[in-house]
Amino acid sequence: MKLLQDIHIRDPFILTDSPNRRYVMYGTIGETAWTGQPVGFDAYITEDLIHWEGPVAVFRPNVDFWSDQHYWAPEVHEYKGAYYMLASFKAEHACRATQILRSDSPLGPFLPYGPGPITPADWECLDGTLHIDGQGQPWVIFCREWLEVGDGQVWAAPLLPDLTARADEPVLLFRASEAAWSRAMHDGKDYVTDGPFLYSGAQGELNMLWSSQGEKGYAMGKAISASGEIIGPWRQQERPLFAENGGHGMIFTALDGQRYISLHTPNDHPFERQVFIPLPKDA
């Protein structure tokens, strides 16, 4: 058994596995987040959010898998009776991209799904997340990297019902500099967008968590869709939700109905650890 402080991952994502009365946590393996050969993705299992079993290997690439660098930010969603992992991958001669993987179990093994990455092949993209809208239409929401465009962007594209490919061209939702709390790096030229995650607020509004650089380091803010639809327009909250050098958050609902934000803090390697913060009922 492990406690949270014993687990070194970034970008913690929690799947509430209600039929089995447990939680499964995925994330970027801390030791190989930035350097070294990534081995794949692992999962940890708990019934009480305190004591954890694992790691359990849920994805290990085959020798012909296209990526060999930067295995980042896996998240897993149950959809139409299967489990779909969206994660970021990179290769020396290929743009960073979000690839979808599929399994019949939340504990894998996950295998590459579809003909290739779900984000545009000639864009540097990361942190794709899955969201099913009110009409049952699946979408991928993802970041276009500041490394390519300077002012990091968040985009969305509808997917085919089987999630094998995009159903239409991506739509720009917003740029990082539109948030008053986001701070530029590198002499004021570059703004980061990381880790979008969509959820319904207490009044049914469509919210998005996303991360950037703030006054005190890595930070996470919230945007609200004025139309209630994915295409927005998106209104940025003036102040970040989490300002103290942490972010890449998501929201999960515990078995007792309490909602939590899951994020990592600090953002400094190798000290990143996952934290769960109760979400107020009116948030």
Q: What is the pLDDT of residues 25-65, one digit of tens each?
A: 999 999 999 988 899 999 999 999 999 999 999 999 999 99
* CATH class assigned to 4-278: mainly beta
**Of 135, 225, 239, 119, nearest in space to 179 by CA:** 239
Q: What is the pLDDT of residues 114-151, one digit of tens each?
A: 999 999 999 999 999 999 999 999 999 999 999 999 99
The residues, ordered by sequence, that sit 6+ positions from 81 with a Cβ below 8 Å of its Cβ are none
Q: Give the mean pLDDT of the chain.
A: 96
Residue 17: strand, helix, or coil:
strand
**Of 77, 49, 7, nearest in space to 271 by CA:** 7
Does residue 283 register a pLDDT over 80?
no
Q: What is the pLDDT of residues 161-196, one digit of tens each?
A: 999 999 999 999 999 999 999 999 988 889 999 999
- Per-residue confidence band for 247, with pLDDT thresholds at 50, 70 and 90: very high
pLDDT value, residue 52: 98
Does residue 281 register a pLDDT over 90?
no
**Of 174, 159, 145, nearest in space to 73 by CA:** 145
CA dihedral 240, 191, 129, 273 (to 10 degrees): -60
Q: What percent of the chain has pLDDT over 90?
A: 95
